[in-house]
Structures are given as C-alpha cells and as structure tokens.
A = this chain, B = another copy of it.
Amino acid sequence: MKRKVTLKQIAKELDVSISTVSKSLRNSLEISEDTRQKVQAFAKLYNYKPNNIALSLKNKKTKTICIIIPEIIHHFFATVISGVEHIANENGYNVLVCLSDESFDKEVINMEMLANGSIDGFIMSLSKETQSKKDFHHIVEVINQGMPVVMFDRVTNDILCDKIIIDDEHAAYNATQYLIDKGLKNVALITTIDYVSVGKLRTDGYKKALKNNDLIVDESLILKIEDIDNFEPQIEELLKTKKINAVFAVNEIFAATTIKLAHKLNIKVPEQLSIIGFTDGIISKYSTPGITTVSQNGVKMGEKAAKMLIERLESEENEEEEHYRTEVIETELVERDSTL
C-alpha cells in the first residue's frame, strides 16, 4: 500500500526545494530543462497528483457545487441532477447532493454545514416545509456571505437570486385548454396543497383556462391532496360521485393512480375519461396507456441552473454587477394515449 506522494517527499528524494518541484511540474521556464525532466519523470513514476484539498484551501475555490433537493426518488429531481452533473463535469466541477426530505431543518443544517468553504455555490429547490413556513433566513445568510445560489422549480419571490422555473401557470393553462379543445367540459383537477408554489400556480392556470372558455370553476372538482401516502380513496370518491370526462393531475403519480382507479371502476381511458399529467417521468412513458403529460424537461433545467451558477462563480472574480436573472424553461405537451 503506497500512500500518496507529496511535493515535499519528491523534493527530499531529489534533494531540491519544494518550490523547484512545484515549478518543474508546472513547466515553469524558471527551472532548467534538466531539472524539470528529472522531476517530472520522478513524479510520473510515483504517480504524483496534487492534493485537491490543499489547492482548495489555497485558491479558496473547491470546484464543487451542491444541489439540495427535497427527494431523489422523484424522477423529475433525478433528471435535474443529471443535467447539473453533466454541465458541472464539463466545467471541472463536482456535485454534492443533499436531500432535505421535505424538511426545513434538514435544509438548514445542510446549508449551514456546507457554507463554510466546503463548496462554491448552491443549486436548490425548496422543501415543502420551508415553503409553508416561509422562513428563508438560511438562504439569505448564505447569499450575504457572498455564496451564489440558484433556485429552481420550487422558488420564492422573497429571495433575490438567479432562478430557473417553468411557467407553471401557463403550462397548466395549456393542458386544460387541450382537454377543452377535445370537447371535454367537465375537467377535474387533482393538485397539492397551496403552499407548494408550483401546485398553486398550476391550479391558477387550470382555473384561468376554464374561465376563458366560459366554463364555471366547480370547486368540488378540485381535489387538494394533503396526505401523499393515502390519497387513493379521495380520487376514487371523485371518480365515483362526480360527472367528469377529464382529469388534469399536477404530477404523474396522481395521474397514474387515477388511471389505475379508473380501470378498477371500469371507466375506460381515454374513451370515457381523458387524463393529463405533469412531469416528464418514466411512469407516464411506460404506463399503459401512455400518459399525455406536460414535460418539464428536468435535464434542461439542471443544465441551465448549473450554467448560471458556474457563470456567476467564474465571473465573480471581476466583482461584476449583481443582476439576478430568472430563466423560464419552456414546457411541452407530450401527447400519448391517455387522452382522446
């Protein structure tokens, strides 16, 4: 077991100074061709690699960015990570992944723990709890320390920073309009509780579409799911008691579950019930029938977020202006077989 070799050890072996070794390896002209060759050969032989931690300390840059997400099991977040990782890697950055588990405390702990030089910047999507508490002091603090933060998807207006979002309201509007255009007038909405920013926006879009088509918004057709672990009965109830011919679900789990329940209740999809989901997940793709859905393009969001963060990191040296941007990623309606 040969431990890692350091500059000091090479210097000692070759009976030169540490500076000489360092310069030789960086091919400085200050050092004679002869010495350079000797040092480089020796370094190669012993497989010398500079210690990253030491470099980080010296440069005050870790070349690591952290992404904080509520959960990784969620396919959308996985795709975002994938996008972030690619761009980061291309630019020589590593990616630290932290999960908040939708908990405010974990989010705070993670941020405080890493804001001490461990990383260069954050990419994050707020936890549900944070959104409901509306307490963002931990984020403000980090930003005030001069560490750039890019928020995506679940963002808040209370914080000034770069943001990547999709136009949730507009996307929901389009999805609802799509259903209406098919002649479906009784569209139910299955959504989350309001404090989840995207849930609220999508609900707004749904309502707006109805109104613009002179349809009345029937609140009893809007199902707000609170308990993510036990919502089937509510949907079943909706399908049984209400006269609907279409459902717009704000995520793919709700959409897939609706299909399953429709099947159970002998309601034919899409003949009797059209269903549109949200998110570009694998569930929608591999489900039978395939689910028509609003694609969020998580990969692109991740890529864009990483680009913005890295751009800010690299330009920061020149102490540039603090002009924050909010980028909107376009969504796309992927038509499959769950709609007429």
Contact = CB atoms under 8 A, between A and B. Distances in A.
A73 B78 contact: yes
A225 interface: no
Interface in A64-103: 64, 71-73, 75, 78-79, 81-82, 85-86, 89, 94-99
Interface string A22-53: 00000000000000000000000001011111
A3 interface: yes
Nearest to A141: B47
A129 to B, nearest CB: 17
Interface stretch (A171-179, A189-197, A200-208, A284-292): A284-292
Contact of A64 (B85, B96, B106): B96
Given A85-B72, A282-B283, A114 B94 contact: yes
A220 interface: no
Contacts of A287: 256, 283, 286-288
Q: How many copies does the complex hold?
A: 2
Contact of A117 (B52, B94, B288): B52
Given A73-B75, A145-B4, A118 B52 contact: yes
Contacts of A82: 71-73, 99
A26 to B, nearest CB: 16
A156 interface: no
A260 B288 contact: yes
A85 B99 contact: yes
A50 B257 contact: no
A56 to B, nearest CB: 5
B282 A260 contact: no
Given A4-B145, A53-B118, A57-B53, A290 B260 contact: yes
A97 B115 contact: no
Contacts of A283: 282-283, 286-287
Nearest to A86: B99
Contact of A97 (B1, B85, B118): B85
A52 B1 CA distance: 28
A53 B146 contact: no
A157 interface: no
A8 interface: no
A79 to B, nearest CB: 6
A324 B2 CA distance: 19
Contacts of A1: 144-146
A116 B85 contact: no
A11 interface: no
Interface string A112-141: 111111100000000000000000000001
A193 B193 CA distance: 46
A4 B81 contact: no
A2 B146 CA distance: 8
A144 B106 CA distance: 36
The 8 closest A-B pairs by CB, nearest first: A256-B286, A51-B117, A52-B118, A49-B116, A97-B97, A53-B117, A52-B116, A53-B57
11 contacts: A1-B146, A3-B146, A50-B116, A52-B118, A53-B118, A57-B57, A72-B82, A253-B286, A263-B289, A282-B282, A287-B287
